[in-house]
Amino acid sequence: MMNVLLLADLHGQYGLLDSFLDLQPDAVFIAGDITNMGPVSDVETLFPRIDVPCFAVPGNCDPKEILDALDQSECVSLHGSQMNLGKMTLVGVGGSNPTPFNTPFELTDKQIDDLLHIPMGKMEKALHNVLITHAPPLGVLDSINGNNTGSASIRRHSSSFDLVCCAHIHENRGVVVEDGITFVNPGPGAMGNCAMIHFGDEAKDIKVELLTV
């Protein structure tokens, strides 16, 4: 069993980090919006406080310069890349498809597709296959005022994974299981929300707890 803490939408609010880490995870995933439009120097104070392996993608509210800061930090940036973690394969993509708000890290669906193409070509299927993305897939955990706002590209690629960790739409905190795939939005970490993901010793043995500290 491996227990992973999923955080997202911290928006520069790190006061609850110790409470999150009191949950004693084996690793931490961060699904974007680490800062609130910057500064990217926040990563220099955030990641040294996390004493377990940490893997992150940026969100639409993170300046694109955060990619360099993540590369120089103690966290592994998964934006447009993949890696193996024990019996798990991780693939990541950050930013979001376009929003009405002209936020710093927005991508077209074609750009998202291009970013996923290379890591998915290298991806070796494992016991658990995980996609960490800031934007939700189109039609899943992406509703705002009755409109679906997620990424069509992420939706197309979701079928290659057992678990899709997403964020971005604060109001859509939840867990959805569809076609054998588990989708989770942990809710905004800035408000104390998180998820604990329990990875078992058999394929598809993934359990998700939504928690608030």
Distance (Å, whole) CA 121 – CA 119: 5
Along the 213 residues of the chain, how does pLDDT read in single tens digits? 899 999 999 999 999 999 999 999 999 999 999 999 999 999 998 999 999 999 999 999 999 999 999 999 999 999 999 999 999 999 999 999 999 999 999 999 999 999 999 999 999 999 999 999 999 999 999 999 999 999 999 999 999 999 999 999 999 999 999 999 999 999 999 999 999 999 999 999 999 999 999
Q: What is the pLDDT of residue 180?
A: 95
pTM of the full predicted structure?
0.97
* 202: helix, strand or coil: coil
Q: Is 70 left (phi over 0), alpha (psi -120 to 50) or beta?
A: alpha
* Fold classified for 2-212: Purple Acid Phosphatase; chain A, domain 2 (3.60.21)
E strands within 72-173?
76-77, 81-85, 88-93, 128-133, 143-144, 147-148, 163-165
pLDDT score for 1: 86
List the chain domain ranges.
2-212
pLDDT tens by residue, 150-162? 999 999 999 999 9
* 110-151 tens-digit pLDDT: 999 999 999 999 999 999 999 999 999 999 999 999 999 999
Q: What is the DSSP string of 162-180?
A: SEEE--S-GGG-EEEEETT
Residue 111: phi and psi, rounded to 5, are: -65, -40
